[in-house]
Each structure stands twice: as structure tokens, then as C-alpha cells.
Amino acid sequence: MQHIIAFEGTRRIAEGSLAEVTVAAKRLLFDGTDKPVLLFDCDTGQQVDIDYRVEVELPEPEVRKVGRPKLGVVAREVTLLPRHWEWLSSQPGGASVALRKLVEEARKKSEGKDRMRKAKEATYRFVTSMAGNEPGYEEALRALFAADKERFTMYASAWPADVKEHAVKMAGPAFEGGE
């Protein structure tokens, strides 16, 4: 489920599911706020656009179906050299099993680095939207991409409280390591 946060100007007004946050944002907009109301995906830092004229529809609960579950297997084209295909086909279970094992191994190996990269990218998107005109913005981003938590927090301390708090929270995994 998507985790969303909403701001009225620089003040956090709601955090939670898309439906919950949309209701809070709609209420504020229809009460006549003169500040922009922005919603962000907490995982990606991307701004979420909502058509406030449409009623919020909650998703239907999933009904478990009888029979074999769908595994979500997707067929796509992979281009490899003949020696790669030869090696893959000689592996127990064939090429598909060998490729899945290789991908899982690579995912586990790079998990920390991927988490750091995603946190930096998400924080960058959020900070650019919400603190792009604030003092220390550029220095904070330099510190973020240098994985310098102390400097990032220092420069972010001059920002509005709710923006700073959310930016520091989002950036947390960017400073955890993973090398």
C-alpha cells in the first residue's frame, strides 16, 4: 500500500494511505486555504497528483481464488551470447531457474547499496520540491549524496520544522552504509 504525506505550504497536514490523506487534503482545500497543498509518496519522494473532483474509491478487498495461485511470472526477451545460453541450459532446472537464482543472489548482494540509492533519490525529489528555495538546500543535497548525515542534518535544520523532519526521516537509509 502506498504511504502518502501531505503538506499545506510547509506544514504537514496528514500522513497515511492515499484515501486518508486525500480526504484530509480535500477538506483543507474546500475550507479555502491560500497555500499550496502537495502530496508525496513517502517511498519514492514523487509528488502525487489527485483529481479532487472525483470521489475517493477504496480498493476492493482481495478475494482468494480456488486453484493454483498466479506466480506473477513475466516473459521477456533476454539477449545473451551463445556461450551464455550454453552454460544456462546446462544448469539444473534449465535457463529460467539458473537466471532466477542469479538475479536473487545479485539482489541480496546489492540490497544495502540499492536501499541507500533509493533513499537518496527519494529524498532528493522531496527536498527539491519542498526546500528548493530554503537556505542550505544545495549544501544539504551535497551532504546527502556524500552520505554525510551530520552535515545534511545541520543544513536541513534551517528549514521549516515539518519539512526538515520528513526530509531527515526519508534520508535515514542513505546514511546506513551498505558497502
Q: Kindly report, residue by residue over 130-153, the tens digit of the pLDDT.
A: 999 999 999 999 999 999 999 999
Q: What is the model's pLDDT at position 29?
A: 84
| 98 domain-assigned | yes
At 178 the pLDDT is 47
Same domain, yes or no, for 122 and 105?
no
Examine the domain organization and report whether 105 and 120 are in the same domain: no
CA 33 to chain centre: 28
- Whole-angstrom Cα distance, residue 101 to residue 87? 14
Q: Which H or E run includes 40?
A: strand 37-41
Residue 69 is predicted with a pLDDT of 66
- By residue range, what is the domain housing residue 100? 82-109
Total domain count, the chain: 3
Band the pLDDT of 179: cuts 50, 70, 90. very low
User: Model's pTM, two decimal places?
Assistant: 0.75
Biggest distance spanned by C-alpha atoms of the chain: 67
Same domain, 93 and 126: no
67 found inside a domain? no
Query: Comparing 44-48, 72-76, 117-121, 172-176, which segment has the lowest mean pLDDT?
Result: 72-76
Q: How many CB atoms lie within 10 A of CB 89?
A: 10
**What's the whole-number mean pLDDT along residues 21-41?**
89
Decide if 170 is inside a domain: yes
Q: What is the length of the chain?
A: 179
Residue 122 shares a structural domain with residue 141:
yes
